[in-house]
Structure 1
Amino acid sequence: MHIRKYGQVRKTGMAVGAAAAVLAFSTACVAPGSETGPASTTAASQAAQGDDAQKRIAFFGFARANAFAVATWNGIEEYAKANNATAEFFDPNFDAQTQVQQIQDAVTSKRFDVFIVQANDGASVVPALRQAVAAGITVVAEFTPVGTAYDTADSQVPGVVTLVDVPTDNGKKLGELGVEACRSKNLDPCKVAYLEGMKSLPLDNARTEAAVKALEAADGVELVSRVEGGYTREGGRKAMQDVLQAQPDVNVVIGSSQAIAGAESVVKGKGVLLIGNGGSRQAVKAVQDGRWFATYYLPEKSAGAKAAELGLAKARGQQVEESNSETVLAPNDGKGTKEALAGVAGEYDE
């Protein structure tokens, strides 16, 4: 998305990755670490030195000003330092075409053994990643699916390892959490509003349709509103005001963690159960404090470390699973209820 979901999006192309973030996630932090890479060398020359030679990772994240991408980077950098590798963050600042050019330039430079790609636009990066694989570089697609299918963790580019959050799986779980919230209130019908991410994005539409399907399949649950809430507090606040004008007796509201944070100020004291899509420390605490019913939670710093682990293992000649879902890293398969998040702190700030 939980991109977000991710902060303010400046272009349609770049927004796909940002929204997938949920999913959502803010731009409050600035990443640590140097952007200056070590002296140039080739992947081939490193391979000739054997599997124990120091490896070099290039991380193509959403943006350095994005807290979610920063969490990913922190996990990558820490794992690299502990496992005889270096890492460098390439910052496209949410621009999909800039990211594609950075990947192509990194292939040409022959400086890196591993690419970890957090795609701003999963379709746009496909040709560049094919080029990287052909050049003998190990490629890991992290969080955002690479390709045009949003219902699978399977690799859509031959040779690319995935560690992704499947958008339709995310949406289905949000819908299921909505049903759980309704059951907790013992209402029939239970009225639910879904604050969509960005209707212009295919990835967001796939997530929305999966959530809607899960809600509509449940007896006694009525989806009364679908309004674009986006990935900002202001967007969520405005969307919630619109929902209440038409549905003043709504019982449950689902949206990105930022949109739900905005909606919270509008429904305070009305008994509305809130469900976020994002695993920031703030969202986790809102659930633990009982202000929100649940949030879809992924430990993103841990995911960054796992992506580095997969990439370095493959680059060193080890067998790794080609297709991987990030939800295996999360408690309760990502469904962050108060019980599931007991003792969890979250791994980034919004």
Structure 2
Amino acid sequence: MKLRLCALASLLCLAGASLAAGGEGLTTPVKLPAYDAARAACRAPIGLQKKLVFVQDNRREFMQAAGRGLEAAARARGLDYSVAFANNDPALMIKQVGGIATDKTGAMVVAPIDPPSLAPALKKVIGAGAYVGAIVPPPATTVLNAPQYLTGKVLADAAANYIRARLGGKAKVVLLTHDGLQFLAPRFTAMRDTLRTLPGVTIVADISPATVDKDGGYRTMKTILLAQPNIDVVLGADTVVLGALAALREAGKARPDQFLGGIDGEQEAVVEIKKGGSPYKASISLASSIFGYAMGQHAADWLEGKSIPQAMDILPMALTSSNIGDYERDTANPGAVYADPVRRAAYLKMYGNICFDTRDNYINFPWSSEAR
């Protein structure tokens, strides 16, 4: 049904939206308007701790940087901050979120491992009035996503240009995907769409590693090399592609003319790109310290009763030797980026409004700004 936003007593109301019973939030996909920073505040939550917890899936650098941004924002706003590491264990994550609900923590940000199994626990936290920020999968007070198809296309275009210019239009390609996570699948659809336009390209492996970390990429590439010892291009998330690079080097199959490219702008990937002669040629930045800082600010705003975004894009940026210096400066000081509207707009785009009084309108569908 059509969503219509209207003002009523300075609060957001929803007319004609389909809200499921039982506090299920917005389950029908809707197109969110631009975030209105001037929206009036509402009541602040009562009886919750001024505390922000990051429920972190694993210790890959992308998430570590998000944590650094969250911690910096919490420190700036006077919130206690802690991290709950789930270590790729979905059952442990459910237990951690349950503990957050029990001790009345005021705000949390989560990187879900198994979104369907975690959803009931997150709904309880939201129902209690706490802020829940989610990195990609709902449910959440604020969903952080990237325009996933565009993100994959930016990386695939860089690889395609390299294949044409440096590899004579021919390449054996490995795609290390996350197709089991529907929210990230569009980035790999974009890669396949782009590579399909190159007649000389063969995708010799299109596979999801068991874990989204270096070990997962390393083990998967070791298996691939048994059947395909000569690989020209590897694409995926930085953390798994870095693991694949380790496997290639261990097998003596890494070459300066290869194109390894990832998504996330992880520090180790940046170091590789800056090296002369590394197979690692590109990383698509989803500047996690900057979005982490923004989510930490939103958590603090929520606890003060302010209206915050329902959703936020982190915009993809292809890192090159010409812009890595600026990128490293910005990610090292996310507070300065957040405080500068022009610099912030290069990384973040915000949508919708929600506050404590309208918390039942939390997003509970796979939100993307690219949805049509």
Which category of TM-score, normalised to the shorter sequence, fits these structures?
0.5 to 0.7
1:108 to 102, 112, 119: 102
TM alignment of 1:1-350, pairs within 5 A: 44-45=46-47, 55-63=50-58, 65-110=59-104, 112-142=105-135, 144-146=136-138, 157=139, 160-165=141-146, 167-185=148-166, 187-188=168-169, 190-197=170-177, 206-216=186-196, 218-220=197-199, 222-228=201-207, 230=209, 231-232=214-215, 234-235=218-219, 237-239=221-223, 241-242=225-226, 244-245=228-229, 248=230, 251-255=232-236, 256-262=240-246, 264-265=248-249, 266-269=252-255, 271-290=257-276, 291=278, 292-327=280-315, 333-345=316-328
Q: Which amino acid aligns with 1:226?
A: A
Structure with greater Cα Rg: 2
1:206-234: CA deviation from partner (whole Å, max 9, x where unpaired)? 54333212221x34552331254734363
Number of corresponding residues = 276
Change (3 A) 1:61 1:220: same
Higher relative CO (CA 8 A, sep ≥ 6), structure 1 or 2? 2
Change (3 A) 1:313 1:97: same
- Cα distance in 2 for partners of 1:307, 1:254 equals 28
Q: CA RMSD of the aligned region, Å? A: 3.2
Gaps in structure 1 of 5+ consecutive residues: 1-41, 47-53, 147-156, 328-332
> What's the TM-score once normalised by structure 2's chain length?
0.64
- Cα distance in 1 for partners of 2:146, 2:191 equals 15
- Cα distance in 1 for partners of 2:178, 2:130 equals 34
Q: Which amino acid aligns with 2:284?
A: Y
Change (3 A) 1:204 1:321: closer
Contact 2:53–2:82 (Cα < 8 Å) also in 1: yes
Contact 2:62–2:264 (Cα < 8 Å) also in 1: no
Change (3 A) 1:243 1:338: farther
- Cα distance in 2 for partners of 1:125, 1:194 equals 31
1:118-173: CA deviation from partner (whole Å, max 9, x where unpaired)? 1112222222222222111111112x322xxxxxxxxxx3x620123455444333
Gaps in structure 2 of 5+ consecutive residues: 1-43, 333-372
